[in-house]
Structure 1
Amino acid sequence: MSRATRMTCAVMASLQASPWRVMDELRVLGRAGGGAQVRADIIGDVDPSVLRDHIPGDLIYSLRSTSAGGLFAGGMDQRRRRLFQAARRYDLIELEGGRDTTPEILAGIPPHRRLISWHGNGLSLAGLMARFTRLTAVPARHYLMVPHAYTPQQALAPLRLLRLVNRDNVTAFSTGETGACGRILGPWLGAPMVFGQIGGKAEEVPTVERLLRDYPFPSLPEVRRLYGIVGQSVNASLSPRMHNDAYQALGLPALFLPIATKDFLPAWEALTAGFEGLGMPMEGATVVAPYKESALRLAAVTTGPAGRAGAANVLVRTEAGWRAHTTDPIGVVGALGRAGVRLTGRKTAIVGCGGAGRGAAAGLLRFGVTPTLVNRGADRGVRAARLLGLDYVPLSRFVPADYSLIVHATPVRDDLLFPVAQLARDAIIVDLTYGRRPTALVSAARRRHLRVIDGWEVLRIEVARQFRLMTGHAMPQSLSLENAK
Structure 2
Amino acid sequence: MSSPRTMAAPDTCSVVACLTDPPGDLSRLPDAVAGIQVRADLVGDLDPFVLKDSTAASLIYSLRSSAAGGRHAGGVDDRHRRLLHAARRYDVVELEAETDLTAGMLDAVPPHRRQILWRGQAGLGIGARLHVVETADPLRMLRKLGRGDVTAYETGPAGMWSRLLAPRLGARVAFCRFGEAGPDGMPGLAQLLHDYRFPRLHAVEMLFGIVGTDVSRSLSPRLHNAAYHELGLPAFFVPMTTPRFEPRFESIKDTFTGLTVVSPHKTEAVRLADSASVDAARADGANLLVHGSRGWRAFCTDPVGVLRPLKGIRLAGRRAAVVGCGGAGRGAAIGLLHAGLFPTMVNRDGDRGARAAALLGLDFVPLHRFDARHYDLVVHATTVRDELPFEVKAMRPGSILVDLTYGSRETALTAAGRRRGLTVVDGWDVLVVEVARQFRLMTGHQMPPVAAAALRTDRREE
Q: Say yes or no: TM over 0.5.
A: yes
2:5 counterpart of 1:17: no
Distance 2:235 2:413 in 1: 37
Contact 1:381 1:392 in 2 (8 A): yes
Secondary structure class of the residue paired with 1:19: coil
Q: CA deviation at 1:433?
A: 0.8
Q: 1:211 to 1:28 in 2, by over 3 A?
A: farther
Query: 1:402-450 deviations in whole A, cap 9, x for unaligned?
Result: 1111110011222311112212121221110111112221222233343
2:106 counterpart of 1:106: yes
1:392 counterpart residue number: 364
Contact 1:352 1:375 in 2 (8 A): yes
Aligned counterpart for 1:142 among listed residues 126, 130, 134? 130
2:291 counterpart residue number: 317
Q: CA deviation at 1:92?
A: 0.6
State how 1:64-143 maps to structure 2 within 5 Å. Answer: 64-118=64-118, 120=119, 123=120, 128=121, 132-133=122-123, 136-143=124-131
TM-score by length of 1: 0.88
Contact 2:10 2:202 in 1 (8 A): no
Structure 1 stretches lacking a partner, 5+ long: 148-153, 276-281
Contact 2:9 2:203 in 1 (8 A): no
Q: CA deviation at 1:78?
A: 3.4
Q: 1:356 to 1:54 in 2, by over 3 A?
A: farther
Distance 1:455 1:56 in 2: 43
Query: 1:291-330 deviations in whole A, cap 9, x for unaligned?
Result: 1111112222221121222211111112221111110000
Q: CA deviation at 1:84?
A: 2.8
Aligned counterpart for 2:169 among listed residues 167, 176, 189? 189
Q: 1:79 to 1:298 in 2, by over 3 A?
A: closer
Distance 2:230 2:207 in 1: 16
Q: 1:415 to 1:205 in 2, by over 3 A?
A: farther
2:238 counterpart residue number: 257
Distance 1:162 1:108 in 2: 29
Distance 2:56 2:151 in 1: 20
State how 1:143-292 maps to structure 2 within 5 Å. Answer: 143-147=131-135, 154=136, 157-198=137-178, 202-203=182-183, 204-273=185-254, 275=255, 282-292=256-266
Q: 1:249 to 1:405 in 2, by over 3 A?
A: same
Structure 2 stretches lacking a partner, 5+ long: 1-6
Distance 2:128 2:40 in 1: 21
2:347 counterpart of 1:375: yes
Distance 1:200 1:67 in 2: 24
Secondary structure class of the residue paired with 1:99: helix
Q: CA deviation at 1:346?
A: 1.9
Q: CA deviation at 1:5?
A: 7.1
Distance 2:69 2:366 in 1: 48
2:432 counterpart of 1:460: yes
1:32 counterpart residue number: 32
Secondary structure class of the residue paired with 1:252: coil
Q: 1:28 to 1:390 in 2, by over 3 A?
A: farther
Secondary structure class of the residue paired with 1:353: coil
Q: 1:243 to 1:28 in 2, by over 3 A?
A: farther
Contact 2:180 2:188 in 1 (8 A): no
Q: 1:163 to 1:56 in 2, by over 3 A?
A: farther
Q: 1:55 to 1:369 in 2, by over 3 A?
A: farther
Q: Residue type of the partner of 1:329?
A: P
Secondary structure class of the residue paired with 1:381: helix
Q: 1:396 to 1:348 in 2, by over 3 A?
A: same
2:4 counterpart residue number: none
Contact 1:352 1:374 in 2 (8 A): yes
Q: How many residues were matched structurally?
A: 450
Contact 1:144 1:171 in 2 (8 A): yes
Q: CA deviation at 1:244?
A: 0.8
Distance 2:9 2:204 in 1: 14
Secondary structure class of the residue paired with 2:257: strand
Q: Residue type of the partner of 1:109?
A: V
2:47 counterpart residue number: 47
2:421 counterpart of 1:441: no
Secondary structure class of the residue paired with 2:209: strand
Aligned counterpart for 1:410 among listed residues 376, 379, 382? 382
Q: CA deviation at 1:178?
A: 2.5
Query: 1:375-400 deviations in whole A, cap 9, x for unaligned?
Result: 11112211221222211111010001
2:10 counterpart of 1:6: yes
Contact 1:468 1:474 in 2 (8 A): yes
Distance 2:343 2:172 in 1: 54
Distance 2:69 2:253 in 1: 29
2:277 counterpart residue number: 303
2:333 counterpart residue number: 361
Contact 2:372 2:395 in 1 (8 A): yes
Contact 2:398 2:421 in 1 (8 A): no
Q: CA deviation at 1:79?
A: 2.7
2:58 counterpart of 1:58: yes
Q: Residue type of the partner of 1:168?
A: G
1:279 counterpart residue number: none
Distance 2:289 2:27 in 1: 39
Secondary structure class of the residue paired with 2:296: strand
Q: 1:333 to 1:81 in 2, by over 3 A?
A: same
Contact 1:302 1:324 in 2 (8 A): yes
Query: 1:311-357 deviations in whole A, cap 9, x for unaligned?
Result: 111111122211111100000100111xx422122221110111111
Contact 2:8 2:203 in 1 (8 A): no
Secondary structure class of the residue paired with 2:154: coil
Q: CA deviation at 1:81?
A: 3.2
- Out of 81-90 and 466-475, give the one that drifted further: 81-90
Contact 1:29 1:35 in 2 (8 A): no
